[in-house]
Each structure stands twice: as structure tokens, then as C-alpha cells.
């Protein structure tokens, strides 16, 4: 007797539809799983058997073969348990075949028959919806998340016994609890790394660095802060999440999808804040970019998608990791190729980095390092990487008695308004932020006033800028004008943009 149930497994941050076929025939009692399962799936036999017995149903003492199609794709995790159990129940005629027609099942089984949540629900449900499934049964804990996919009917399952009843009659489906966000959005990818609520008002002085941070948040520009230890670089950068603009609904879905696939789903369904990732400088290339040998998992750059990636002490990161950042910074996606898979992960993040200007840390003007020491220190950061920062600011320690700055709420309001202006300007284009405007479209989309053109040409001449460098100043000038709410870029915007892109460290 044969049954097949639709399900899905994770491939990177996307789902891959899997058809679970169960064949029960006469012969010596056995249980075989074929179709490139991993260890978790092989072990499903014990979970599925105990769950079926705990649900008060019959476990067939016959020859059971489970096939996971397509056979050439590796499957991971315990999320196929429920589909296997339903397949066995249909094959043994405990459930009618109509009960699982055009229905997919996701969920891990407990020995007592409970259906446990699985990572990546949103991506899996989305994939199944595209594959033409009408109804998806998901664990109660994932139901809110699964319901974010509008095009499919989501049914929640708390345990196997009641699920069988509901499936058989297609009535009395349980409701799922409304999404509850933890206190202060705990579990949200954008939550600050430590639990203390931080605010820009705590940062004294540092007017220029603050200006650069605000510009970065508004335009999506990459930001490098260079300065002596204790100047407040890290303190400032850690407050970036408090002024980042709101997530648009599409972005929120994309962020939720990635974090769910990485097993860090927001507690209450949709992510509400932009991610802010700050990996330690001992991070490996695979952890930063994504990868892994048996199973390719997204890296920090993907987890920071539509948010910010903060690298403190940039010079301490392994050069291989930093050089690997260059391609995602430019293309905003990561392409991971392994023997088995070639995956593309989204990686549209904003890079914020801090570094000391030299080994002594003092920086100009009173640095005591030799030229050779400085040169050696600077060699850790390659010129192509430094070139990708639109904003490079030398942070000097604030003079004593510097007044506290504006609060995050005030700054965020300006940032939000500037972002709205950018969205309006680029509504017909595939990009939405000033930092993403392609160089060829700059002249048309972001025109400079005659004054600003003179200033821009003068700067390019004076600093012998490359075409790319000049384009970056152009984009930052637009963001500065957006923050000022002026339709035209002025000479002062160009001058400040150029000054916010100093040759540091």
C-alpha cells in the first residue's frame, strides 16, 4: 500500500519541496528511509513509531519503505517527521487518502505525539505554496509565522492524535495563539546586543561622527569610524540600530524568512526591527559569508540582510574574511558554491566598522608611530575594501564638557523622512536607497546644482579621486540634501560629503 505526503526541507534560506512516499508491504517487519536523508531523518523511525503508538494508533508490523523525492537532494532536520507519520497512517488505511490530498505537513514529532516547531517555516510554507499545495499543516508554534504567507491555507497541529481527527473530518481545526512579542521585542533580530536600552543622547560631542552615522542610516551607506581607543567609536556604532529606518513590509518578510531559516525566528511572527549583527573578530570566513561542508548555512552577511553588519576592530579580522566581504558589498548577494549545491543568499547589508588609525592609537596629528609601523598596520585593510566605505570619519575624543547630543528619536525622525524621500524618488527603480544608485544613473536621477557641480569637480581634481570615489561623494551629498530636505544638492553638501570621506586610517 502506497501513500505520498508533500513536505519541504531547507536548502540555505529557501525551501525545497519534498514528496514523502511511504510503502507498506508484507514481509519481515523493517523500516528503511531512502533519498539522501541526514542522521536526524534516519532517527525519525523511533520518534514516529513512539508518536503513533502514543496517539493510540496502530504501528504496522510490516515492511515499511520511506522514500524522500527528489532522491538527489540532501534533506536535513526533523521537520519531515510529521509527513512520514501521516504517510504511514494513510498507507495503513488509518487515514483516508483524501485527508492528505493537496496538503503538506511540516513538524517534528515528540515521543508523546506532540508536534514541535521547525526552523525556516516561512520559507518552507512559501515554497510549498508555489509548488501548488492548498493547505499546509504546521506546528502550532510556527502557525503565526506560516500565516505570513498569504496564498495558502495554514492549519495548526498540536499533537498527532487530534491532528488525525481533524484531518479525517476536516473540521474543528485548532486556533493558534496570537503572536506575542517578548518584552522589548526580545528575540527580534534588531534587538540591541545587550539588554540595556541605549540612546544616542548618551553620546557627548562627536558632532561629525554623529552626522556620519545619521547619514549612513538615512542613505544606507557603509561607514568606517577611525579613532583612538576610548574616543566613542564603538559606543556610537552600537547606537545605530536606534536610528535605523523602519522595515518596509516586504523587507520585514525577507528578514523574518532568513532568521527563521537560521533557527532564530522572531517570537511574534514578523520581524519589526532591522537586524544588527556584530560578530567577534575571530569569525571565520564561512561564518561571515555563509557556507559549511555538509549543509550550507547563511553567514552573518545574510543575517544582516536589510540591516547592519558591525565589525569592531576591523584590522583584527582575518584578511581572508575581509576580502571575502568585497563581493557581497558590491553585489548585495552571496553566491556559495559547493560540490553539491550552488546557492545565492541575499546580503543587502550596511557595513559599519571601527578601527584604530595606527598601532599607538593616537592617530594624526600627534601619532608617535613610525611610517613603517603605520604602513604595516594599514596593510591589514586593503585599499579596495576601504574604497567601498562611502563614509570614512576620523573620530577625535570629545573635548571635556561637550554637550550631550540629540536623542535617537529625534534623529530617527529625520532619517525616516529622508528615507521616505528616497523611496519616492526611486519608486520606478529596483533600488530604494541613495547608496544603491548605480553610477550610470547618478547624473539623471541625482542631478547636481551648477554650484555643486563646480565643487564636485574641484574635489575630484584636488584629491585626484577615481570615478568610483567621486560617485560615492555624489551619493553621500544626495543623502545629506535629503536629510536637509532640500530638492537640490548644494556645494556645501558636496564639501561635507567629501570631508566625511577622508583618507583614514
Partner 1 sequence: MTAAADATGPVPGHSPASVPPLTDDQVAVVALAGLETLGHRRIRLLCAHYPGPAAAARGIVAGTARAVLAPTFGTAHAHLLDPCCARWSRDLDLAATRSTLEQRAARVWLGNSPGFPVTEPLPDLPVALVAEGARADALDRPRVAIVGTRTATPHGLADAHDLAATLAAAGVTVVSGLALGIDGAAHAGVVAVGGTTIGVVATGLDVEYPRRHRRLYADVRAHGLVLGETGYGVGPTPWRFPIRNRIIAALADVVVVVEATRTGGARITAEHALRYDRAVFAVPGSRRNPAAAGTNALIADGAHPLTDWDEVLLALGMTPGARRTPPLRPVPDPVGRAVLAALGGEPASPEQLAARTRLDPETVALALTTLTRTGWITMHQGVVWPS
Interface positions with partner 1 (CB under 8 A): 205-209, 211, 226, 357, 363-372, 393-394, 396, 399, 402, 455, 458-459, 462, 480, 490-493, 495-496, 498-499, 502-505
Q: Which CB sits closer to partner 1, 110 or 359?
A: 359
The least distance separating partner 1 from the CB of residue 495, rounded to whole angstroms, comes to 4
Q: Which CB sits closer to partner 1, 72 or 450?
A: 450
Give the whole-angstrom CA distance, residue 113 versus residue 162: 10
Contact between residue 33 and residue 14 where contact means Cβ atoms under 8 Å apart: no
Q: Which CB sits closer to partner 1, 56 or 364?
A: 364
Give the whole-angstrom CA distance, residue 141 versus residue 147: 11
Q: How many Å from the N-terminal Cα to the C-terminal Cα in the chain?
A: 71
DSSP β-bridge partners for residue 460: none
Locate the DSSP E strands across 356-449. 391-394
Per-residue burial over 234-267, b = 16 or more CB atoms within 10 Å of its CB, e = otherwise = bbbbbbbbbbbbebeeebbbbbbbbbbbbeebbe
Q: Which CB sits closer to partner 1, 292 or 458?
A: 458
Give the whole-angstrom CA distance, residue 385 versus residue 327: 10
The least distance separating partner 1 from the CB of residue 120, rounded to whole angstroms, comes to 45
Give the whole-angstrom CA distance, residue 472 versus residue 351: 15
Q: Which CB sits closer to partner 1, 368 or 466?
A: 368
The least distance separating partner 1 from the CB of residue 211, rounded to whole angstroms, comes to 5
Q: Which CB sits closer to partner 1, 94 or 453?
A: 453
Q: Which CB sits closer to partner 1, 194 or 399?
A: 399
Q: Which CB sits closer to partner 1, 365 or 450?
A: 365
Residue found under cell 561571515: 288
Asked if the bond preceding 505 is cis, omega within 30° of 0, the reply is yes
From the list 58, 77, 164, 76, the residue with the least C-alpha distance to 117 is: 77
The least distance separating partner 1 from the CB of residue 328, rounded to whole angstroms, comes to 27
Give the whole-angstrom CA distance, residue 236 versus residue 223: 12
Q: What are phi and psi of 13, to 5 degrees?
A: -105, 5
The least distance separating partner 1 from the CB of residue 350, rounded to whole angstroms, comes to 21
From the list 259, 217, 251, the residue with the least C-alpha distance to 237 is: 217
- For residue 296, the Cα-to-chain-centroid distance in whole angstroms is 15
Q: Based on C-alpha coordinates, what's the Rg of the chain?
A: 27
The least distance separating partner 1 from the CB of residue 37, rounded to whole angstroms, comes to 57
The least distance separating partner 1 from the CB of residue 397, rounded to whole angstroms, comes to 10
The least distance separating partner 1 from the CB of residue 40, rounded to whole angstroms, comes to 53
Contact between residue 84 and residue 115 where contact means Cβ atoms under 8 Å apart: no
DSSP class per residue in 160-183: HHHHHHHHHHT--PPP-PPP-PPG
Q: Which CB sits closer to partner 1, 340 or 369?
A: 369
Per-residue burial over 420-446, b = 16 or more CB atoms within 10 Å of its CB, e = otherwise = ebbeebbeeeebbbbbbbeeeebeebb
Q: Which CB sits closer to partner 1, 402 or 420?
A: 402
Contact between residue 300 and residue 288 where contact means Cβ atoms under 8 Å apart: yes
The least distance separating partner 1 from the CB of residue 392, rounded to whole angstroms, comes to 8
Left, alpha or beta for 435 (phi > 0: left; psi -120 to 50: alpha)? Answer: alpha
Contact between residue 405 and residue 206 where contact means Cβ atoms under 8 Å apart: yes
The least distance separating partner 1 from the CB of residue 490, rounded to whole angstroms, comes to 8
The least distance separating partner 1 from the CB of residue 363, rounded to whole angstroms, comes to 7
Q: What are phi and psi of 455, to 5 degrees?
A: -60, -40
Give the whole-angstrom CA distance, residue 491 versus residue 495: 6
Q: Which CB sits closer to partner 1, 292 or 398?
A: 398
Q: Which CB sits closer to partner 1, 318 or 458?
A: 458
The least distance separating partner 1 from the CB of residue 208, rounded to whole angstroms, comes to 4
- For residue 320, the Cα-to-chain-centroid distance in whole angstroms is 22
The least distance separating partner 1 from the CB of residue 380, rounded to whole angstroms, comes to 16
The total number of residues written for the chain in this structure: 505
Q: Which CB sits closer to partner 1, 372 or 383?
A: 372
Amino acid at each position: 500500500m502506497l501513500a505520498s505526503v508533500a513536505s519541504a526541507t531547507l536548502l540555505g534560506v529557501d525551501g525545497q519541496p519534498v514528496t514523502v512516499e511511504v510503502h507498506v508491504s508484507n514481509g519481515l517487519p523493517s523500516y528503511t528511509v531512502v533519498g539522501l536523508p541526514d542522521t536526524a531523518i534516519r532517527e525519525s523511525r523511533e520518534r514516529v513509531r513512539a508518536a503513533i503508538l502514543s496517539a493510540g494508533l496502530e504501528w504496522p508490523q510490516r515492511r515499511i519503505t520511506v522514500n524522500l523525492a527528489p532522491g538527489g537532494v540532501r534533506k536535513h532536520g526533523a521537520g519531515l517527521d510529521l509527513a512520514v507519520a501521516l504517510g504511514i497512517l494513510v498507507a495503513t488505511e488509518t487515514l483516508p487518502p483524501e485527508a492528505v490530498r493537496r496538503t503538506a505537513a511540516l513538524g517534528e514529532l515528540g515521543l508523546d505525539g506532540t508536534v514541535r516547531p521547525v526552523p525556516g517555516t516561512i520559507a518552507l510554507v512559501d515554497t510549498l505554496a508555489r509548488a501548488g499545495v492548498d493547505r499546509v499543516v504546521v506546528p502550532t508554534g510556527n502557525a503565526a509565522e506560516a500565516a505570513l504567507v498569504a496564498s495558502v491555507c495554514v492549519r495548526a497541529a498540536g499533537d498527532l492524535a487530534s491532528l488525525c481527527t481533524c484531518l479525517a473530518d476536516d473540521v474543528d481545526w485548532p486556533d493558534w495563539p496570537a503572536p506575542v512579542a517578548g518584552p522589548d521585542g526580545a528575540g527580534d533580530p534588531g534587538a540591541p546586543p545587550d539588554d540595556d536600552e541605549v540612546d544616542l543622547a548618551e553620546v557627548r560631542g562627536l558632532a561629525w561622527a554623529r552626522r556620519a552615522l545619521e547619514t549612513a542610516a538615512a542613505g544606507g551607506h557603509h561607514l568606517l569610524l577611525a579613532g583612538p581607543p576610548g574616543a566613542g567609536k564603538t559606543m556610537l556604532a552600537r547606537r545605530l540600530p536606534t536610528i535605523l529606518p523602519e522595515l518596509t513590509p516586504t523587507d520585514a518578510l525577507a528578514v523574518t524568512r532568513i532568521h527563521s531559516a537560521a533557527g532564530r525566528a522572531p517570537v511574534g511572527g514578523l520581524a519589526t526591527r532591522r537586524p544588527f549583527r556584530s560578530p567577534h573578530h575571530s569569525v571565520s570566513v564561512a561564518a561571515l559569508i555563509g557556507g559549511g561542508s555538509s549543509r550550507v548555512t547563511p553567514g552573518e552577511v545574510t543575517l544582516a540582510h536589510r540591516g547592519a553588519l558591525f565589525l569592531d576592530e576591523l584590522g583584527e579580522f582575518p584578511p581572508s574574511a575581509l576580502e571575502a566581504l568585497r563581493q557581497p558589498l558590491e553585489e548585495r548577494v552571496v553566491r556559495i558554491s559547493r560540490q553539491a549545491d550552488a546557492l545565492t543568499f541575499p546580503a543587502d547589508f550596511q557595513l559599519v566598522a571601527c578601527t584604530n588609525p595606527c598601532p599607538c592609537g593616537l592617530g594624526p596629528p600627534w601619532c608617535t608611530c613610525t611610517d613603517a609601523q603605520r604602513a604595516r598596520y594599514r596593510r591589514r585593510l586593503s585599499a579596495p575594501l576601504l574604497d567601498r566605505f562611502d563614509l570614512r570619519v576620523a573620530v577625535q575624543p570629545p573635548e571635556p564638557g561637550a554637550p550631550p547630543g540629540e536623542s535617537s528619536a529625534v534623529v530617527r525622525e529625520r532619517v525616516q523622512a529622508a528615507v521616505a524621500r528616497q523611496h519616492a524618488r526611486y519608486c520606478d527603480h529596483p533600488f530604494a536607497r541613495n547608496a544603491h544608485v548605480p553610477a550610470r544613473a547618478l547624473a539623471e536621477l541625482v542631478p547636481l546644482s551648477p554650484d555643486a557641480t563646480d565643487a564636485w569637480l574641484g574635489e575630484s581634481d584636488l584629491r585626484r579621486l577615481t570615478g568610483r570615489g567621486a560617485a560615492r561623494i555624489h551619493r553621500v551629498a544626495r543623502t545629506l540634501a535629503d536629510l536637509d530636505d532640500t530638492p537640490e544638492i548644494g556645494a556645501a553638501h558636496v564639501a561635507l560629503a567629501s570631508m566625511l570621506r577622508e583618507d583614514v586610517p
